[in-house]
Every structure is written in structure tokens, then in C-alpha cells.
Chain A
């Protein structure tokens, strides 16, 4: 692998490549093809169906739509066991409504039940009046759910909140059972003899996942930034390293937009891992170019590139195996992790060697002109010695 040394001569124009790629990625994500959220983050139903013959997707889709489901995606691929059909549906309108009413009921119930219990324990008529007033609101929510489930129950007829809650639970279970068996029967009648599995996410759970994922990203950014600054203890290399990592994630997101890889928990984990992967080549480059003295800076950068390329290739080969495995097994978690990692690693090659390397080299020249010491010793170098 003998590439010409790109850092001899007018290397600064190299940055055009990553910058334009970053702009293209941003435009893609923001305006052209926004990243599709998987059901982990937006709620819905994932269906995986294994059948011996290819199913009639058109019929399946229209039958599902007739029953109030929105089919976001449906496709069939062959795998060693037969035909694997994967579909992503939105939950039915009825189920969404039932979910909403149920969570509203439980939010209201807490206060009502406490008032009821206190009025009984303290034998207090003022509390009792307060309870009865609040109970009317609770009854309203319960009645809406009863109506949705097709039951004749009337909330006001239940003497205690406990009994009312039991009826509310029963009504909710009835709705969800009916919707589930309806969905299962559509698949069973359209594709007989298939083994089908359903993964359903309620919107409350996907909201929770979003907030958790968001929290993880914020903590990750803060912690990583602190650690990088502690290690390099100079502003420019730290920012170069961090923006390299950010560029990797951005490129990977761009690839997700183009190849329609959904953002799920798995691809989210892969994006976080990219931060770590992106840094290894950046650190190699920064350490070798900034801290060492043998040869010219451009030579050291070029040497680093050769090592870095081998490193990235080895990681890519591992993920390519995972991707191949994903195609054979049709396991989405493998596919999402591998595809995002490979996209990010390709992006990393560009970000590191056309962006970070340029910044670091320019910074070196600038510092050399000013005659300053380049960098302080990293804190880690005091702690770790091989």
C-alpha cells in the first residue's frame, strides 16, 4: 500500500473533502431524507415473519391498512431458514387512544385514591366531599375507556376507586387483547404456516427511551470532552480531536439517511462507539505529529496515516463480517450496528486524514513560527508507562 504523501505541498486544500461531506450530510439529514426513527424511539410494532414461501406483501399491506394500522415499511428477504418478512407498523389508532386514556386515568387515580383512603381513615367529611368531586373527573376518563372497549359499564356505579380501577384494567386488557389477536389473525390468514414474532413499543416507553438516550449523549459529550482536554491540555488539538469525532458521527448519520438505516437502540449504541473508534486514529496522529520530532511533520503524518489505515481496515473487516452475518441471519441489531460502524469508519478515514491531519499540521507550523513549546505532557503519561 504505497500512497503518495498527501501532506507534502498544498495539503490545506484537503479539508474541502470533509467539509463538503459534512455539509452534504447535514443537508441530507435536515432537508432531503431525514433519519428514520425505529420503533424504539417512536413507538410502534415491529413484525418479523419467517415463511417457507414468499408472502403477498401487497395483500398484507392493504389488509393491515384496512384494520387501522399504518404500514411504514414492509420487505421480504431470503435467509437460510426461508423468507424473512420484516414490517414496521404504527400502533392502531384505537390502541393509541386506549393508551392515552389509561395513562390519564392512572395519573388522576393516584390523587383520588389517596383522598378516598384519607377520608376513610380520618373519617373526615370535608375530605370525602373533595374526593367525590375529584372522583367525577376520574369517572369521565374511565367512561371514555369503557366506551372505547365497547363495555356498558358506568364509572359512577363503582362504589370504590379500587373497583373502578379493576374495571378500567379489564377494559384496557380487552382492547389490547382484541387488537393483538386482530393483528395476529391478519398475518395468520394472509400468510399461513409462518412463524411470526411481534415487538411492540408503547409511546410512553419510546418517550422514555428518547429521554434516556438523550441523557446518555449529553453525559458522553461532557465526559469525553473533559477527558480529551485533560489528556491533550491544549485547545487546538483537543478541538481537532473532538470535531473529528463529531464529524464521524455526522457522516454516519448522513449514511443512515441515504441507506435508510433507522435510528434504533442498536444504531444508537454504534454511534456512541464511533466516538471511541474515531479517537484512536486521531490520537495516534496527534501524538506522533505533535509530540515527536523525528523527520518532518508531514512525514510523521504520512507514517501515521499508514498505521491508521491498517488500524481502521482491521476494525472495518470485523464489522464487515458482522454485516455479512446480518445479511445471512437478517438480524436487525447486527445490521444496524455493523452498517453504522462501517459508515462511521469510512467517514473517520476522511475526517482524520483530510481534516484533523491538516489542522494539526497547520497548528504545528504556526507554533513553530512563533517558537513556542508545542504541547504539555498529557496527564495520562504520568500515570501509565508500559
Chain B
């Protein structure tokens, strides 16, 4: 083989494409932190963790699916499980994954998912309405046209005891906010930074813009957290050290939690833990109270505060607050935007209120699938061994090919093409998630890839009446394309319609492997083989002349 042939091969556009794509894939993996630090994403089989598949009792549309996913996320984070990954799979499954293997965590998630949340509507420090006092199946949308000046209406009916209690609590509380909580913490304190407290303190824009002062904000959050016997005390992070040092801050009992931002200093977190508080860390966004204008003598109100489970704070109309008990009540609201955007926003707000009133009940009944736990150390070991297995399979195939063809110029290109294919496949699948099934698929792809290159090689090496190389390659490609088509078709139903998520990785990898092979690596290999073959033949002729 002369240098000219090598240059010729390397500058061919198909070979160049494969080389560039492979280098691109390697570069991309390293730009994203290297193969083991984020460049390739691994499933919990390799990274360690817990996976709980959730099966919906019936297929749902994408909107409902998103609602289910959000609902599970919200409730999981209400219980302090902020590292939970919730992924919709097809139209009837959801995966909940936690990257820590901890049996308690699994029990917690199972508990959260199998139980309804607790809804509480609090008015001026008293529970006016709770999940137990309303009929969840009566929670319904109503036509906003009947109410005038509003964009959405949600109606619900109370039980007879519930009606009595509600009318007693709200009497004389016209224009007070009804704080709607889902899974409000009962035994907890909040430690918040000034920055988070005031992050959302500017309301409205332009001439309507209003600013809430620190003093006002503190009053508002205290009012929102007020509940007879179960108030949640709030402390500013900036002053917490003094409190700790002066020994005035103590947990109520051994279960008292402290709700605190993830970004808070480790020192404060450590001090609180050593005092006996259980840390419930929340994202900064969840820690920030969202304020709104209440349009009443109160001026402003905390309308949403995710870290505490506060979902909304509609204002009680004076007619409700002064009237007799009623069976049905409505919550109304305005939506942002114009046209379709407004309709979508109204829909979203109404759905959320309905979900809160139903105690966060999921729109479709669910059942839990098989819970899988993988310790992180075991995961890492399995990953190392699997990658070793991948390398081992390439080496074995190289040995086998050497025995069969006894010619490095045949074996080397086959092996190199297969390696590029593996790299491309790892980069593609690794941008989603490589799980055990996908890894098995990648190892299988080595076989598939070599298999097709053998067809090309044998076609080229074969003696035929017409010695036209292009004709031979056409024949080889016909076989390869036919085979890939049938193999992909056989796997498609599993990939597209089954929802059998545990093995979809395998189907995805083999299908992508076939597609990559037919479209990129086989044409590249064919070019290499063809050029090498022609150059070899030329040499043979030269030898004969001499």
C-alpha cells in the first residue's frame, strides 16, 4: 500500500465524513466534561440510584401527561426529594429516578405516589376548608361568561359539615386571602435570605409598577405562614447565626424540619443540623415568595410560594364572607396574555387550582412498577466491566477476522470502521441515557457492523465473470440495505408502540446502529475497501509485467 492510496482514501468525501463525525463526537463528549463527567449520560444502572416505573391505568394525551409529571415532581419536592428525575415514557408510563440508592427514599416516593396530598385552605390563621371537607369529584370548570370579568372559574362542593365550618371561619373575613396549600409543612421553620425574600418584590410593569419593601415582605410572609397552633416561624438567613449563638432557636421536636435554600452557606446548614433540625433543601426559585396585588386594604399578598406548598391565594369575596353556608363555591381568576396565549394560561391556572383542591390527586390512576435499586459503587463497577466487555468484543472480532482473511489491510479498516461506529453510537445514545439494555445493544452493534463489512469484503474479493467493482459493491449494498430494512422493521413496533421502557434502549441502539451503518460507515468502508482493492490489483499487474 503506498502513501498515495492512504491519502486518496482519507480525502474521499465519505471517509472524510465518517472521520469528521467521529472526531466531532469525541470532541463533543469531551467538551461536555469527558465520558464519565457528563459527556455521556448513564442510566442509574451505571451511575447508581433508584428507579420506580409508574404505569398509568390508561393512555393519556401529552397535556395530561405533563400535568402528571409536574404533579409528581411538585409532590416529591414537597417531601424534600428535590433530586428526583421524573420522565414521561410514551403515553402511559412515567419513570421516577433518584440518583441515590436509599431504601428509605423508595418507601418515601412510594408513599407520596400512593397517597393523596393534603389540601388546606387557610383564612386568617384558621383552616377554612380541607381536602376532607370537599367532594373531590365535584371539583369542576365552570363557564367564566357567567361570572363577568374573569378568565377562568373552578367550582367545588363541600360536605354538609364542611359548609358549616367554612361559613364560620370566613365570617367577617371579606377581602382576606384564602391561602391554598398543598402538603403544607406542619412541623418546620423557614430560613430565607433577603435576596430570595425580595427577588419577586417588584409587581407589574411601567406605571403600574410597585415595589414591596423588606418590612412589608416580612409581614406578608408571616401572614401567609400563620396557622393556629401550627404556624411556621420564619427567620432571615442574615440574622440566623445570632439566633443560633444566643440559644433561642431550637427544634420543636426530633422531627422538626428547616426549609432552606440549597444555596445557603454550608456553615449555617451544619449549625442547624447540629441543633437537631432536619434539612429540607429547596431550589432558590422555590424559596422565593411570589407577591401579587390583592386589590384590598391589605394591599399585597403572597400568592405563591412553592417551597412551602402555597399554590395560590384567591381573595374571598365579601358576599361569601357574610353569607350563609352554601354547598358550592367558585374560585375565579384572570389570565395573562392575549388570544390563544390567554386561553392557555387560563387553562393552566384552572387546572392547577383543580389539582390542588383534589389534594394533588393525579388525573389518572397509577400503579407502581418494579422498583430497581443500584448502589453507586456497583454501578461504576458494572460500567467499567461493560466497557471492558465492549473492547474485548472488538479484540475478539479482530482476531477472528485476522484468522479468516490473514491480511491486515482488510482487517484494519473493518475494525477501525466499527470503532468509529461505536463512538458515534455512544455519543448519540449517551446524550440521552445509556442503560444496561443500550449497552447490550452497543455490543451487539459491533457484531452487526462487522457482519455487514464482511459482506462488502467478500463481494469484492470474490471472482466473478464481470469484474466490475462498482457492480460488486451494488450487490453488497443491496444485501446490506435489504437486511437493515428488515431488521429495523422487525424492531420498530418494540421501539415505537410498546412502552416497554426497560428494553427500549436495546431497540433504539440496534436501530440507530443499523441506520448509522447503512448511511455513514458502510459507504465509507466500501470506499476504503474499493481503493485498497484497486491498488492491490494494480500491484499484481505490475508484478506480472515485470
Give the B-binding residues of A (Cβ under 8 A). Answer: 1, 39-40, 46, 50, 80-81, 106, 113-114, 116-117, 120-121, 123, 159-163, 165-166, 169-170, 172-173, 177, 180, 184, 195, 197-202, 204-205, 208-209, 212-213, 215-216, 219-220, 223-224, 227-228, 231, 265-266, 268-269, 272-273, 275-277, 279-280, 283-284, 287, 292-294, 303, 306-307, 310-322, 324-325, 328-329, 331, 333-334, 337-338, 341, 378, 380-381, 384-386
Contacts and interface: CB of A to CB of B under 8 A. Distances in A.
A120 B490 contact: no
Contacts of A384: 477-478, 481
A274 B365 CA distance: 37
A208 B55 contact: yes
B503 A265 contact: yes
B296 interface: no
Contacts of B503: 265-266, 268-269
Given A310-B454, A331-B382, 9 more contacts: A160-B132, A162-B137, A231-B482, A266-B440, A269-B437, A311-B454, A325-B392, A334-B439, A386-B476
B500 A162 contact: no
Interface string B180-207: 0000000000000000000000000000
Interface string B454-477: 110010001011000010011111
A287 B477 CA distance: 11
Contacts of B436: 331, 333-334
B19 interface: no
Contacts of B147: none
A106 B494 CA distance: 30
20 contacts: A80-B381, A162-B132, A162-B134, A162-B135, A166-B116, A195-B378, A202-B367, A204-B55, A205-B55, A212-B500, A216-B498, A220-B493, A223-B489, A265-B503, A273-B444, A315-B448, A317-B393, A318-B396, A385-B474, A386-B474
* Of B400, B404, B483, most A-chain CB atoms within 10 Å: B483
Interface stretch (B266-274, B345-353, B368-376): B368-376
A324 B140 CA distance: 59
A354 B368 CA distance: 48
Contacts of B402: none
B369 A205 contact: yes
Contacts, number: 282
B447 A315 contact: yes
Contact of A287 (B140, B475, B490): B475
A113 B137 contact: yes
Contact of A279 (B140, B464, B483): B483
Contacts of A201: 369-370
Interface of B: 55, 103, 107, 110-111, 114-116, 131-132, 134-138, 140, 157, 159, 161, 327-328, 365, 367-375, 378, 381-382, 385-386, 388-390, 392-393, 396-397, 400-401, 404, 436-437, 439-440, 443-444, 446-448, 450-452, 454-455, 458, 462, 464-465, 470, 473-479, 481-483, 485-494, 497-500, 502-503, 506-507, 510, 514, 523, 526
Contact of A280 (B161, B369, B451, B502): B451
B454 A314 contact: yes
Contact of A173 (B114, B382, B388, B523): B114
B102 to A, nearest CB: 12
Instruction: List the 5 closest pairs (A to B, CB-CB), nearest first.
Output: A276-B487, A318-B447, A321-B393, A117-B137, A325-B389
A80 B490 CA distance: 37
Contacts of B372: 197, 199
Contact of A380 (B161, B392, B485, B499): B485
B478 A287 contact: yes
A120 B162 CA distance: 13
A50 B378 contact: yes
A196 to B, nearest CB: 9
Nearest to A335: B440
B440 A114 contact: no
Contacts of A195: 375, 378
B132 A163 contact: yes
Given A276-B487, A314-B447, A269 B157 contact: no
Contacts of B134: 162
Nearest to B53: A205
Given A314-B401, A315-B448, A321-B443, A380 B478 contact: yes
Contacts of A220: 489-494
Contacts of A280: 451-452, 455, 479, 483, 487
Given A172-B114, A314-B454, A333-B440, A114 B137 contact: yes
A310 B464 contact: no
B451 A314 contact: yes
A213 B493 CA distance: 10
Contacts of B393: 317-318, 320-322
Contacts of A294: 464-465
Contact of A177 (B107, B396, B443, B482): B107
Contact of B500 (A116, A216, A231, A337): A216
Contacts of A338: 440
Contacts of B490: 220, 223-224, 272-273, 275-276
Contacts of A166: 115-116, 132
